[in-house]
Structure 1
Amino acid sequence: MHTTIGEFILDRLKAIGITEIIGVPGDFNLSFLEQISQSEGIRFIGACNELNAAYAADGYARQRGAGALLTTYGVGELSALNGIAGARAEHVPVVSLAGAPPQYATEFGWNLHHSLADGDYTNMLEAVAPFTEVATRLSPMNAVEEFDRALHTCLREKRPVHIQIPSDITHLSIEVPDAPFSTALPASDPERLEAAAARILERFAQATDPIILIDQDTDRHGFTAQFEALIAKAHIPYAQLSSGKAILSERGEHFLGTYNGAASTPGLQERIERSDFLITTNPRFIEVNSGSFTHNLSRATIINFGDQHANVAGEIFVGITTAELIDVLLERIPPASSSSASQAPASPAAVESFKPHPEAALCHERLWPQMVDFLREEDVVIAEAGTSNIGLGPQRLPQGVRYINSPIWGSIGFTLPALLGSQLAAADRRHILFIGDGSFQLTAQELSTILRQELNPIIVLINNKGYTIERYILGMEEEYNDIQDWSYNQLPQVFKADTTMESYSATTEGELAQALESIAASPHGAFLELHLPAADAPRGLHTFGPMTADFDYGPRGPRND
């Protein structure tokens, strides 16, 4: 079977569920863009810049299982690199495509624009390579094998890949396989699968306090539904890292809370650390999800699931696909009985409905319970690093809420473009973004793309005149933590004069309650600006700020002058 290289790439992307490619046009990718415009079932979404496009592709991938980014050589690739690195840090499968100079020009080392004019066409791939699992350039001779290798790796490892496409090859015809692209992982070695299952079930039968500890890879590798089924069948209590927030229900009857070392939900650190059967999914502890490295998990009790291996208290089983292993466990694990459900937690207390004080000024202590009361089951909640994520962290979100943030990479400004990508990928779900004014100013122009695509999110902007999280680390009164105040809720009309997005502003709990009532009743998007004092912050930030300062600056740091 013959097709063009461009059509082959698009067919592969469609095969893994991608219907939008997000990026920025450039002369080296225009030929490929022509093919996108002529292809059914996939379209190009132009972002305002390449960094935002990378963030949007990340948000898209969290909904669809993979996202696609398109840039041009050099200036585009490097502009997107921060977003690609974030996808790497957060284990998000993004297929990054970059139009490259024509193949003959790179082979003969011609000096061209968007390069360093030194004839070196390896440097861009070398710059991107440390932040991707595959970084390669296609040619007519390797297009099929290289693209398929990159795509399989992206899906298997849950990491971004980067593929340069020379501008003069996309319309060339090549021979391609007749068989459709398969996203299935290889089958497990039968003996290793059986041995791993038997060993885990043996330890489970001996356990007195089994617990599942959730982190990002639970979601990334598709274990969520399987764990839900295990919990329902065997009544296994579960907890989460802050970096695994709301992957499983925070209102389920077996939910214990958030494990964060010494900063854990009260009583939880001891419970987790003395569990004799602790299921984990490759947790990655950094200072913000470990209570500043006060976590202490015993390897002798951990059953860790990677995507292609299991580590049972130090005994490592390879050659298995872990989803198959969990299916075997789910089939064989005994159902819970009243006598076997040891130490099962009581059902969490119901989340009380918030009662606003109409004349009270907004403050973080009461803001977040009021906002959680507004949320519905199955909403998509996107929380910017800083006050939004810290404020929402202790709140138990409704059943089925998908929570998107960037707890490891933490690049501020990520969430507005991520909102664009997420809503493109899941337009049927209500999206609510919580973002600070400082973060918003980094990527504000992507609001125009959200409006151009006629999406209808609810954007909640916390206006506290600057970088509150930085103020609590250092420089509470310093000018370097100030930013220019904008008329934020006028921006929808600035970016799109005929927009249907409705703007609101609130300084009191009563004004916020009225705004939320109007937003809930409207089919349109909303931009809600909340005014809070610059020095007000969620309770967690009062601890996080000084802890970060001590960690960053040491005992001779400026806080101790």
Structure 2
Amino acid sequence: MATMTIGDFIIDRLKALGIREILGVPGDFNLSFLEQIDAAEDFRFVGTCNELNAAYAADGYARLHGVGALLTTYGVGELSALNGIAGARAEHVPVVSIAGAPPQYATEYRWNLHHSLADGDFDNMLDAVRPFTEVAIRVSPMNVVGEFDRALRTCVREKRPVHIQVPSDITHLEVTVPDTPFTVDPPTSDAERRHAAVEKFLGAFAEAERPLFLLDQDTDRHGFTDVFRRIIDRAQIPYAHMASAKAQLNERHPLCVGTYNGAASAPGVREKVEGSDFLVTTNPRFIEVNSGNFTHALPETGVVNFGDQHMVIDNEFIVGINTLEVLQDIAAAVPEAQKAPAEPVSAPTYDVQPDKPLTQARLWPRIANFIDEGDVVIAEAGTSNIGLGPQRMPDSVKYINSPIWGSIGFTLPALMGAMLADPDRRHLLFIGDGSFQLTAQELSTILREDLKPIIFLVNNRGYTIERFILGMEREYNDIQDWQFSQLPKVFKADTSMQTYSVSTEGELEKVLEEVSSCGNGAFIEMHLDPFDAPKALQGFGPATADFDFGPRGPRNP
């Protein structure tokens, strides 16, 4: 056993998860802990402009690293972050949220304090956060070691956020902690169940005539992607993905059949998925936007579903397994198939028309040509994500979006978090002007941290996705038109980030040539017609109006 302060213990545990930055906003109830962070080695606090942005950034950090961390203060801070924490819950992203809480004596004696409702109730904040987290607790010196370890293991294993309140007067108190290395690794499988799962998979696969993998978010969240790639390549099994699992595997590979979205699927994809007699899934979650308004219909038989600790095959539920172990066994044992000669899907051809104004129909195929293998592509909900959706991403692209929670403004802070987690990769952000205005101030933190992303801002003077749902020309869908390309120098006068404003294909082409080899980062404002939209959005808007408003509700003319 070893002795250390509670603050140092918390830092030590976060470092054991590989976390090197905790994002957040200072407040009087977390300043004691911040002093300990400031003194720590290989661990630092990155201050954001507000708590919501910090939560988004911690989510982005976790998308690249596997887990992220967030620090706020009691009440005003933790509730400000709650939308981002809820988004992490919806998207199955493990985020450790820590909030400095009032001193332990003040909560026990129910004092009326600032940042509270001044009624002596110190449970209401945890009650508010609890539905959106897997664990929500306030620790004390007597339970912090066990409870903090439990929260971290739950966060990482269940791929859900957790929230821990730490009273401000305990962080410098010493506690006894185990001197064994901390680990969140799951236990090994029951040997018989592991063997049975592998044999059942291989037996069913041997009888299949139309096998296919269907990827969703949990493929990535539970670390299945690489082993799926090995199984698919070895056995030459076709694969599709849901819109919520874009680019998890190479979309230009000959075995990739495309995006499954119910009746709104790409041509031929629906028939392959719904006609499969051996369909491998990973707990797919269908909502209206990734199911063609609930027109999905997976096969009733022949589905093999993997969770991180179970497998379902032929309606048999196999538990007691570490699924990664099972998948590794399958990858080693699945029969190797001869690779059929096939050409990969090439990026769309694009002939520049220099004087032609930028349009949604031609912009996104050009962007697809700009994206390289290994890029991190971050797409804001709305025009950017819908425009990039049909474009096939090259191999090893990390695609970050929020298809389920869909909170606009998420992506700019998420970009910052992702870049802190993996600064050596090229990061491309695609964000609309309306979404950007919600979290614009975090650009200043990106510049302060000397991060060098390429930011594409789609300026169509308002909420295009909302226009096509309702209110095409209504004032409520308009926003103030900022001089966006000047903002980097407003936030940091000596920034090295290059800024551009383009309206034509020729202007964009010149900029893309410059920034492809530029190491300083770039902010590219792209001007498009406010009543132009990707083809998929033009259909999505009226369908959403039908779904949302009922037969007697309003519609666009």
Q: TM-score, normalised by structure 1?
A: 0.98
Q: Tell me the alpha carbon deviations over residues 451-496 of structure 1, each in whole angstroms, 9 at most, x when there is no partner.
A: 0001000110000000000000000010000000000000000000
Q: Distance in 2 between matches of 1:75 and 1:432?
A: 32
Q: Distance in 1 between matches of 2:419 and 2:387?
A: 23
The answer to whether the Cα contact below 8 Å between 2:254 and 2:343 also exists between their aligned partners in 1 is: yes
Q: Which residue of 2 aligns with 1:285?
A: 286
Matched, 1:60 2:56: no
Q: Distance in 2 between matches of 1:316 and 1:53?
A: 39
Q: Which residue of 1 aligns with 2:511?
A: 515
Alpha-carbon deviation of 1:29? 0.1
Q: Which residue of 1 aligns with 2:464?
A: 468
Alpha-carbon deviation of 1:351? 1.8
The answer to whether the Cα contact below 8 Å between 1:15 and 1:181 also exists between their aligned partners in 2 is: yes
Return closer, same or farther for 1:558/1:20 CA change in 2, 3 Å cut-off.
same
Q: Which residue of 2 aligns with 1:224?
A: 225
Q: Secondary structure at the match of 1:299?
A: coil
Q: Secondary structure at the match of 2:57?
A: helix
Matched, 1:110 2:111: yes
Alpha-carbon deviation of 1:345? 9.7
Q: Which residue of 2 aligns with 1:83?
A: 84
Residue type of the partner of 2:128? Answer: A
Alpha-carbon deviation of 1:190? 1.0
Q: Which residue of 2 aligns with 1:528?
A: 524
Q: Tell me the alpha carbon deviations over residues 263-310 of structure 1, each in whole angstroms, 9 at most, x when there is no partner.
A: 111011111101000000010000010011000012311100001100
Q: Distance in 1 between matches of 2:166 and 2:143?
A: 11
Q: Which residue of 1 aligns with 2:365?
A: 369
Which residues in structure 2 correspond to 1:445-460 (within 5 Å)? 445-460=441-456
Larger CA deviation: 349-358 vs 206-215: 349-358
Q: Which residue of 1 aligns with 2:197?
A: 196
The answer to whether the Cα contact below 8 Å between 2:348 and 2:368 also exists between their aligned partners in 1 is: no
Q: Distance in 2 between matches of 1:169 and 1:551?
A: 51
Matched, 1:119 2:120: yes
Q: Which residue of 1 aligns with 2:130?
A: 129
Larger CA deviation: 346-355 vs 432-441: 346-355
Residue type of the partner of 2:402? Answer: S
Q: Distance in 2 between matches of 1:377 and 1:560?
A: 41
Residue type of the partner of 1:46? Answer: G
Q: Secondary structure at the match of 2:516?
A: helix
Matched, 1:247 2:248: yes
Unaligned ranges ≥5, structure 1: 339-343
Larger CA deviation: 539-548 vs 371-380: 371-380
Residue type of the partner of 2:536? Answer: G
Q: Secondary structure at the match of 2:288?
A: coil
Q: Distance in 1 between matches of 2:203 and 2:160?
A: 34
The answer to whether the Cα contact below 8 Å between 2:59 and 2:93 also exists between their aligned partners in 1 is: yes
Q: Tell me the alpha carbon deviations over residues 198-247 of structure 1, each in whole angstroms, 9 at most, x when there is no partner.
A: 11111001000110001110000000100010011100110000000000
Q: Which residue of 2 aligns with 1:341?
A: none
Matched, 1:146 2:147: yes
Which of residues 496, 503, 510 in structure 2 aligns to 1:500?
A: 496
Query: How many matched pairs?
Result: 556
Q: Tell me the alpha carbon deviations over residues 315-351 of structure 1, each in whole angstroms, 9 at most, x when there is no partner.
A: 100111110110111121111137xxxxx79544322
Larger CA deviation: 395-404 vs 86-95: 395-404
Q: Secondary structure at the match of 2:183?
A: coil
Q: Distance in 2 between matches of 1:98 and 1:458?
A: 33
Q: Distance in 2 between matches of 1:440 and 1:108?
A: 44
Larger CA deviation: 353-362 vs 507-516: 353-362
Alpha-carbon deviation of 1:560? 7.8
Matched, 1:180 2:181: yes
RMSD (Å) for aligned C-alpha atoms: 1.1
Residue type of the partner of 1:492? Answer: P
Q: Distance in 2 between matches of 1:10 and 1:430?
A: 29
Q: Distance in 2 between matches of 1:36 and 1:108?
A: 29
Return closer, same or farther for 1:467/1:345 CA change in 2, 3 Å cut-off.
farther
The answer to whether the Cα contact below 8 Å between 1:237 and 1:345 also exists between their aligned partners in 2 is: no
Q: Distance in 1 between matches of 2:212 and 2:343?
A: 16
Alpha-carbon deviation of 1:183? 2.3
Residue type of the partner of 2:110? Answer: G
Q: Distance in 1 between matches of 2:545 and 2:177?
A: 56
Q: Distance in 1 between matches of 2:225 and 2:395?
A: 14
Q: Which residue of 2 aligns with 1:257?
A: 258
Residue type of the partner of 1:48? Answer: C
Q: Tell me the alpha carbon deviations over residues 243-268 of structure 1, each in whole angstroms, 9 at most, x when there is no partner.
A: 00000110112111000001111011
Q: Secondary structure at the match of 1:484?
A: coil
Which residues in structure 2 correspond to 1:319-468 (within 5 Å)? 319-337=320-338, 346-468=342-464
Alpha-carbon deviation of 1:313? 2.5
The answer to whether the Cα contact below 8 Å between 1:473 and 1:546 also exists between their aligned partners in 2 is: yes
Residue type of the partner of 2:407? Answer: S
Residue type of the partner of 2:95? Answer: V
Residue type of the partner of 2:137? Answer: T
Residue type of the partner of 2:125? Answer: M
Q: Distance in 1 between matches of 2:383 and 2:341?
A: 30
Q: Distance in 2 between matches of 1:378 and 1:330?
A: 24
Residue type of the partner of 1:327? Answer: Q
Q: Distance in 2 between matches of 1:172 and 1:315?
A: 50
The answer to whether the Cα contact below 8 Å between 1:3 and 1:176 also exists between their aligned partners in 2 is: yes
The answer to whether the Cα contact below 8 Å between 1:413 and 1:442 also exists between their aligned partners in 2 is: yes
Return closer, same or farther for 1:517/1:560 CA change in 2, 3 Å cut-off.
closer
Q: Tell me the alpha carbon deviations over residues 418-452 of structure 1, each in whole angstroms, 9 at most, x when there is no partner.
A: 00000000000011100000000000000000000
Q: Distance in 1 between matches of 2:467 and 2:66?
A: 37
Q: Distance in 2 between matches of 1:218 and 1:488?
A: 37
The answer to whether the Cα contact below 8 Å between 1:140 and 1:169 also exists between their aligned partners in 2 is: yes
Q: TM-score, normalised by structure 2?
A: 0.99
The answer to whether the Cα contact below 8 Å between 1:256 and 1:345 also exists between their aligned partners in 2 is: no
Larger CA deviation: 184-193 vs 434-443: 184-193
Matched, 1:4 2:12: no
Alpha-carbon deviation of 1:352? 3.8
Q: Distance in 1 between matches of 2:299 and 2:226?
A: 26
Q: Secondary structure at the match of 2:289?
A: coil
Alpha-carbon deviation of 1:188? 0.8
Q: Tell me the alpha carbon deviations over residues 114-169 of structure 1, each in whole angstroms, 9 at most, x when there is no partner.
A: 00000011000010000000001110000110000000000000000000000000
Alpha-carbon deviation of 1:197? 1.3
Residue type of the partner of 2:32? Answer: S
